[in-house]
Amino acid sequence: MPKRSVVDAGVEGKRVFVRVDFNVPMKAGVIGDDTRIRASLPTVRHLLDRGARVVLASHLGRPRGTTVEDLRLAPVAARLSALLGKDVPALAEVVGPRVEAAVAALPRGEALLLENLRFEPGEERNDPALAERLAGLAELYVNDAFGAAHRAHASTTGIAAHLPAYAGLLMQRELEALGTLVHQPARPFAAVLGGAKVSDKLGVIGGLLDQVDLLLIGGGMANTFLLAQGLEIGTSLAERERIEDAQRLLDDAGARGVTLVLPTDVVIAPSLEAAAGTAVPACAVPAEAAIFDIGPETTRLFASHLASAETIFWNGPMGVFERPAFAAGTRAVAEAVAARNAFTVVGGGDSIAAIEQSRLADRISHISTGGGASLEFLEGKELPGVAALLDANGPTVA
C-alpha cells in the first residue's frame, strides 16, 4: 500500500519529529561510513527549506536501555552539521524538561538531534508512555528510517498513534525500489546473496525463489549448501544443523525452474590471519583448511550470469571482505553488478562498503539502507514502521 509522503504535509512553522537511521559504524567517536547520514539529507533539507522546526531522532548500536558513552550521537550531529552546512546541536537526553525547552526554542528552518533513542529502556519495548512523550515534542511525525522499519519500537510505531505519520523521502525511495523487485522486476531477475549464515536468510531465499530467475550464493552461507551437496569444507564456517534446510531450498529451486549457482572454486587458508589464500576447486578443500572467499573461476561464473540480468538484487559479501586477502570475490561482484545497464539494488553493510570503496555507487540504481528491513520486505513480511504510516489514498490530514 503506498504511503502518504512528507511532500504532502503542511510543515511550515510546525514541529516535525523525524525518525532517521543514523546507526552508522563508529569507533572512538570517528564515523567509519556516513552513507546513512547522507541518505537522510533530502528529507531533512526538504523540511528545513520549508520552515519546519525539525526534531531528529535515531538509535545507534545496542545500548539496551542504558547510557553508553561511546554510543552518544554528538559525533553524528557534527557530521550532519557539516553535510548540511548549518549547526545541528545534539541534546544529551531523549526526553525530559531540558529536551522540551530546547524544542520549544527551536526556530523555523532549524533542527536538533535527540540523544540515542535506545538509551531509553522503553524504546525497544514500544512503551506507550515513552511514545506519548516523544509525540509531545511535535505536531507531525515523519519516518525516514527504513532500516528500523521492521521494528515495532516507540519511535517507529508507538509515536504514530499520536501524530499524523508520513513517509520521508528515503523511506519512499526504499519502498518504491524494493516494491519493484517484488511486483514488477524486469527479467531475467538475478539475486546474489552472501554473508555468514544460512539461518539469517532462510526466509528471504524462500521468498526470492518465487520471484527470481537466477540465484547466486556465496559467502559463509554457501558452505552449508556445499555440505548439502555432499562436499567437504574442512574447518570452514557452516551451520550443519541447517543442511536439510539447504537441501530443501536446492530442491525448491529446481522445482521452480530457478537457476541456483554455488561456488565452483573457493579461496582457502589455514586461518583468517593468513597473508594470502589459495584457490582450489570447491570439491577439493583440505581437512585442515577453511574457505574464506569465492575463487576466481566462481567470480567469472557469477559475472557471466549477471551479464544478462535486467534486474539484480545483491545482499551480503562473498567472503571475509574485511580482510584484503579475502576481499576479491566481493569486489568482483560489485564490479559485475555495477557494469550492468539494469535495475540494480544493493543492500547490506559489506555490499555497500564494496560499492563505495570501488567508487561504483553512482552506477547502482538504488543503495538500500535497510539491511534486515530489506530482507523482511522481500520475504513478504509486513514492516510495522511502514504499516503505521498514513495510506496515500486515506483521508486527508490537516
> Active-site residue numbers?
36, 197, 349, 372
Q: How far apart are CA 36 and CA 316, in angstroms?
A: 17
C-alpha cell recorded at residue 49:
527549506
Residue 345 has φ and ψ, to the nearest 5°, of -125, 125
Q: How far apart are CA 1 and CA 238, in angstroms?
A: 38
C-alpha cell recorded at residue 379:
520475504
Q: How far apart are CA 282 and CA 71, in angstroms?
A: 42
Contact 260, 302 (CB under 8 A): no
Give residue 30's region: left, alpha or beta (phi > 0; psi -120 to 50): beta
Contact 374, 347 (CB under 8 A): yes
Contact 145, 20 (CB under 8 A): yes
State the number of CA atoms in the 13 A half-sphere of 171 facing the CB. 32
Q: How far apart are CA 196 and CA 214, in angstroms?
A: 20
Q: In the chain, which residue ranges form alpha helices assigned H by DSSP? A: 35-49, 74-84, 97-104, 128-135, 169-183, 202-208, 219-228, 243-256, 296-306, 328-339, 349-357, 372-379, 384-387
